[in-house]
Amino acid sequence: MGKIFVPDAQTFPAQAEVVIIGGGVLGAATAFYASKAGLDAVVLEMRDSLASLTTAASEECFRAQFSEPENVAMMKASIAVFENFAEVIGIPGYDISLHQQGYLFYTSDPEAPEKLRAQVAHQRSIGLDDVEFWTGDEVRHHFPWASPQVTAATWRAKDGWLSAHELTYGFAKGSQARFLLRTRATDILVDAQGVAGVETNRGTIATRTVVIAAGPFSGQVAQWAGAELPLTILRRQKCIIAPHPAIPQDAPMTIDLSTGALWRPEVGGAALGWSNALPEEPSEPIENVPTDWTFPALVLEEVMKLAPFWEKVAADLKREHVFLSAGQYTMTPDHKPILGPYPDVPGLFLNVGYSGHGVMASPEGSRYVVAMITGEMRPEDNPFCFERFARGEVCISAEKMVL
């Protein structure tokens, strides 16, 4: 069982086979797969608990509805882990609050039926055989709350959401790793062979393998070892609405394809989000991400266009029914993560840049990283390698920015 603790002089490790910087969902998943591979892993988390930064801000959703084969494969494998999580981590009965209530991408665009039929045909051709095209009437048949304006949708029943907190702690508890809380990495030591250790506020850990999983701080951490990563940091907000009888609790994750505004049920109420609500400039990574109280009004106004019951909810809302939080996306130019070795520094590995999909891809992305550490996966077989940027293989905005 993984040990999660604040170390003292006696328990602080002098060395480890792998040091993972960051105790969010990706650091914990990396530690789990490293332990499974027989590696002695130590995770450094500067905060008081795991999963307390970006992972805590997440909408916690997952989907396999992507359009590129490597993304579809990664998400299908990750969802299979979620579906069998207790067994995977070896803790009978462990519960991650898995809700497979589906993902509905719908729209009022009159040209959508043709476009979405073609998209679904493409997705099926790359292995997503359970994605469906729905007409507007089919959407309303399944979900009577949908507006008469809805013209078409894509649907996958096995998409959904979970508890990102329980997922992170499950990976940690199911591992054999040590998780050092309130332990801040301050430098990565490099010698002629490559990575040589990690300096922290509590002392130095000697290691030949470091994995950077520091969320929005990953770019800054990589610079300590001389690595420049193409990461951009963007604020994203989430709004939780307290329980209201008009919010259908059997609804799926529901996304307006034209705008990206989204909502899903959450314990009697709902979680809402919208990447395009406000213009966001790239920023520095920070721990306390400010919220903006214009956000709830903007997102409510948007979601009520295709789901009119939101008008009733909005009319009844009081300030104390709305809970706002914010975190930061760590974006790459093609919106896909950077996984595996950093080519110029032997022993330096990356598990970063998930561009808003780090919870859903955490199992398979982290498994890839560990498979490259152990040599089980060849870096040239890795579609998420760092070198794709140097080779100019990046096509911008390959996948939609919605969750």
Ligand X SMILES: Cc1cc2nc3c(=O)[nH]c(=O)nc-3n(C[C@H](O)[C@H](O)[C@H](O)COP(=O)(O)OP(=O)(O)OC[C@H]3O[C@@H](n4cnc5c(N)ncnc54)[C@H](O)[C@@H]3O)c2cc1C
Binding footprint of ligand X on the chain (CB under 6 A):
21-27, 44-47, 52-55, 57-61, 184-185, 213-215, 217, 221, 236-238, 273, 327-329, 354, 356-360, 403
Helix 362-374 × helix 25-36 angle, to 10°:
50
Which is closer to ligand X, CB of 62 or CB of 133? Answer: 62
CA separation for the pair 379, 342 (Å, rounded)? 10
Which is closer to ligand X, CB of 271 or CB of 304? Answer: 271
Neighbours of 93 (CB within 10 A): 5
In degrees and rounded to multiples of 5, residue 232 shows phi and psi of -125, 140
Which is closer to ligand X, CB of 236 or CB of 335? Answer: 236
As measured in angstroms, the least distance from the Cβ of 377 to ligand X is: 20
As measured in angstroms, the least distance from the Cβ of 37 to ligand X is: 19
Which is closer to ligand X, CB of 87 or CB of 287? Answer: 287
Which is closer to ligand X, CB of 185 or CB of 348? Answer: 185
CA separation for the pair 175, 33 (Å, rounded)? 8
As measured in angstroms, the least distance from the Cβ of 128 to ligand X is: 17
Amino acid at 29: A
* Pairs from 289-294 (Cβ < 8 Å, separation ≥ 24): 289/57, 289/235, 289/326, 289/327, 289/328, 290/235, 290/326, 291/237, 291/324, 291/325, 291/326, 292/237, 292/326, 293/324
As measured in angstroms, the least distance from the Cβ of 25 to ligand X is: 5
Which is closer to ligand X, CB of 62 or CB of 155? Answer: 62
CA separation for the pair 370, 10 (Å, rounded)? 29
As measured in angstroms, the least distance from the Cβ of 92 to ligand X is: 26
